[in-house]
Chain A
Amino acid sequence: MTADILVRDLYYAYPAARPDLPPQPVLRGVNVEIPRGQFVALLGRVGAGKTTLCLTLNGLIPNATGGVFRGDVWVQGRNTKEHPVAALAPLSGMVFQDPEVQLIHTRVDDEIAFGPENLGVPPDEIAERLAWALRVTGLTDFRDRSPLLLSGGEKQRVAIAAVLAMRPQTLVLDEPTASLDPAGKAAIFGVLADLTRQHGMTVLMATQETERALRYADRILVLDEGVLALDGAPEEILREADTLHALGLATPEMTELSRRLSAATGRAYQFNTVSAAYRRLRRETPHGDIIPAPTVVPIPSADPPQIRIEHLFYSYDAERAALRDVNLNLWRGEFVALVGRNGSGKTTLARHLNGLLQPAAGSVSVDGLDTRTQRTSALARRVGYVFQNPDHQIFAATVRDELAFGLRVQGAPAAVVGQQVAKALDLFGLAAHADQPPASLGYGQRRLVALASVLVTQPDTLILDEPTDSLDARSQREIMRVVQQFNAGGGTVLLITHDLRLVANYARRVVALSSGQVIFDGAPAALFGEKRVLAEAGLMAPRVRRLAERLAWSGMPTDILTPEQFVAAWVGRP
């Protein structure tokens, strides 16, 4: 069998950002051989070199980027150094993270025909390829629609179909699910598994979705600081769960549970799915004194709420209301998660809290001040807002200046600015980068800078829009550690997220939106019991919770949120 992708002793460094800096190697001796028909998932922390490796597989590196390139990459027997990118495109299709840069047409069929047209494929054959690409991506009914008006998951499927129409043997995808909601993520993984199993394609996908990668892929590669740290079938990788954890990556929830149970009981537990866990655990019965998780949110104090939202309505256009009669109070020191499908109104609601949007009807007040009477720049002192994309905030020449900006525009004296910035640099572990341009840092660090530059101004309330999305487990923990500290110091947190593990681990209250209405407001443990609400919000309860429910007949309490709580309930006899 011939290898579709062959990477030999690959070393690569991007051209240095400034001539006086030495080039930083991103890949340092990678060797991989991928046979035809495999679905390979590429895991690794942000900055481990995943994107870089992907870009070498269709020749964009080094042909379009320059830099220092040693070693060889062969795609179906062709050395990428010897062929231009456009000539490699029909062999190795590439799908990028951001659909916005890949979709350039206003009709799905034109978008998909674009690649074959460039290759000089005759129109009759383009029509056949178009029909096939639409079918395998489940988009047959979409051919006349505008790609720009589709949901994120649908856009990404159009991007995949557009590449498939060039009939490449190999498909390389760089974190295509990073900004999708759970339904969109599942659809992409399903399409890719089909392409390998039913159409014999070779797929390599860089991703942070450890859980799904282990379920769908045939093989897992783990990159760590430019070298391959692990390479094996999912079963083999699951046995290395400790290594995954040590490398800063997420471990599947059930694997983590079995690890914790083994440690707590001294017995050997080894399961990775809810069903396997159930089969193993049903023979035993829990014997802990169970402390149920609270299902009612205590109101933190008798004080009036800090943020008061009353009968809020808002719409972007005449046809559809984005928010419909939202009533919500936030008290000082709360940690509230805001969940719901893409387009359910989460960001629209959050933007009312600092006056970026003004109510069409109803009212929003912060510390008793009506947001309609306040400028956003004035509300920013009370309500800090960290945007999803750090690059929308970052502009300064150095990290230090970036952090100082918020304090300066709020008129803080220079001495205070210097002091606060130094403190924040330490807290966020950014001191070593203080004099570097923030735009040159890695994605994970840019997100830390964006969070730091908001927190440094010491707002009372912090709004975070998907703060951990497309970050690895360790970077997630770094960000959430700082957010928790802020909350422990009395700050109010509103966290917009799709990640229910994040909700289970950190939030004490959760608000679910659907089509602009609040459909749930209560404790996370209570939300996970509401099947109808979960379905409407496009969410799945954490696996430990679903396992606990299946074990309910044995006396297991069902209001479990995290593996820690499960273990405590399982073995916690005093």
Chain B
Amino acid sequence: MRTDFQLYLRGDSWLHRLDPRVKLAFVVTATLLAFMYPFAWMQLGLIATCSLLLLTARVPAQRILRLWRNMSIVMLLIFVLSALFAGGDSPILFSLGPLNVRVAGIEQGALLALRLLALAMVFAVWLYTTDQTDMVRGFVALHMPYEWGLTLALAFRYLPTFGSLYARIKDAQQARGLDLDAGSLRERVQAYQPILIALVVSALRHGEALGWALEARGLGASDHRTVFKPLHMRRPDWLAAGFLALIVILATILRVF
């Protein structure tokens, strides 16, 4: 089992113990802030807050840095494209052939890139510290149908499985002499064909077996599904929820008036 595709990190910190509904409320609140305040300082603030939260939950700093590194490619792409193509009529900073790099383009690119990282960090706070079973409990307690919550949890559950399946299939095809790094771009893309076909066939086999296994475990047998460990809001949960509500109210007032 490769653990690098696994999102949830086991732990027993205050953030792990926090009610999953409150963590969901955090995601909603932070996302609101990121969009209500389209300024770099807000995005940077969110990134810093989330980093601190994750560190207090004893998520290793390496893990956070890896998320930054993984996001950096997309961020760079967004920044460059915005800088080259956006900016409207704002002053031209310099020209690259037919393209004009404008001040507003740079600003907008930086904001979009930072906001992307901020959102990734917000979701990391939720996903890295919430057991998928708790996640489903949270959704169901908020009256989402159980099957929907389960589907979402299964998607997270099988990320690492399909990640390692992909890695194994790639190894198996390379061991047969498939060269993924040679030739033109088109040849290289074509070289991935055997891997993708084997991956899809394996995933379909897997999906069928999973469906059978769920039926055999009685999924859908009773209209009155019970919950073994029901959620209970404790004092810290209410405090955190109240704090989040306060932030939403303040942020709205400051923004609107």
Contacts and interface: CB of A to CB of B under 8 A. Distances in A.
Interface of A: 55, 58, 60, 64, 85-87, 89-90, 93-94, 96, 98, 100-102, 104-107, 109-110, 113-123, 126-127, 130, 146, 148-149, 162-163, 166, 317, 351, 354, 356, 375-378, 380-381, 384-385, 387, 389, 391-396, 405-406, 409-410, 439, 453-454, 457
A114 B229 CA distance: 11
Contact of A89 (B175, B221, B224): B221
Contacts of B219: 86, 118
Contacts of B222: 118-120
Interface of B: 1, 3, 8, 10, 131-133, 153-154, 157, 160-161, 165, 168-169, 171-182, 193-195, 197-198, 201-202, 205-206, 209-230
Given A60-B212, A100-B206, A387-B168, 17 more contacts: A64-B212, A87-B221, A89-B218, A89-B221, A96-B216, A98-B209, A101-B210, A110-B228, A116-B228, A118-B221, A354-B175, A356-B174, A377-B180, A378-B179, A387-B172, A387-B175, A391-B201
A89 B217 contact: yes
Pick the most buried of A104, A114, A317, A396: most chain B CB atoms within 10 A of its CB.
Answer: A104
Contacts of B176: 380, 384, 393, 405-406, 409, 453-454, 457
Contacts of A410: 177
B171 A351 contact: yes
Given A377-B179, A454-B176, A392 B202 contact: yes
A69 to B, nearest CB: 16
B118 to A, nearest CB: 27
A107 B12 CA distance: 13
A85 B215 contact: yes
A396 B173 CA distance: 12
A86 B220 contact: yes
24 contacts: A60-B216, A64-B211, A86-B220, A90-B221, A96-B212, A100-B161, A101-B210, A102-B217, A104-B153, A106-B133, A116-B228, A118-B218, A126-B226, A148-B1, A376-B171, A376-B175, A380-B176, A392-B168, A392-B171, A393-B198, A395-B193, A396-B197, A409-B179, A457-B177
Contacts of A121: 226
Contacts of B228: 109-110, 113, 116-117, 123, 126-127, 130
Contacts of A102: 213, 217
Contacts of B193: 395
A375 B181 contact: yes
Contact of B225 (A98, A117, A127): A117
Nearest to A110: B133
A350 to B, nearest CB: 10
Contacts of B210: 101, 104
A51 to B, nearest CB: 11
Contact of A106 (B8, B165, B209, B230): B8
Contacts of B224: 120
- Interface SS, B side: helix
A372 to B, nearest CB: 15
Contacts of B174: 356, 376-377, 380
Nearest to B201: A439
Contacts of B226: 116-117, 120-123, 126
A395 B201 contact: yes
Given A126-B228, A376-B174, A391 B221 contact: no
B132 A392 contact: no
Nearest to B178: A409
A376 B171 CA distance: 9
Contacts of B181: 375
Nearest to B222: A120
B242 to A, nearest CB: 29
Contacts of A100: 161, 206
Given A60-B215, A60-B216, A117-B227, A395 B198 contact: yes
A385 B175 contact: yes
Contacts of A378: 179
B44 to A, nearest CB: 31
A118 B217 CA distance: 8
Contacts of A55: 212
A286 to B, nearest CB: 47
A293 to B, nearest CB: 34
Nearest to A172: B216
A378 B198 CA distance: 22
Nearest to A459: B177
B126 to A, nearest CB: 15
Nearest to A450: B172
A378 B176 CA distance: 9
Residue in A64, A86, A104, A392 with the greatest tally of chain B CB atoms within 10 Å: A392
A90 B221 CA distance: 9
B217 A114 contact: yes
Contacts of A162: 217
A6 to B, nearest CB: 20
A377 B177 contact: yes
Contacts of B195: 395
A187 B128 CA distance: 34
A106 B175 contact: no
A113 B213 CA distance: 15
Contacts of A60: 212, 215-216
Contacts of A395: 173, 193-195, 197-198, 201
A159 to B, nearest CB: 9
Given A87-B221, A118-B221, A163-B217, A392 B169 contact: yes
B175 to A, nearest CB: 4
Contacts of A127: 228
B179 A375 contact: yes
Contacts of A454: 175-176
B220 A118 contact: yes
A126 B219 CA distance: 16
A166 B206 CA distance: 24
B47 to A, nearest CB: 27
Q: Ordered nearest first, which 10 A-B pairs have the shortest CB separation?
A: A120-B222, A86-B221, A377-B179, A113-B228, A380-B177, A89-B218, A395-B197, A385-B175, A118-B218, A94-B216
A334 B172 CA distance: 24
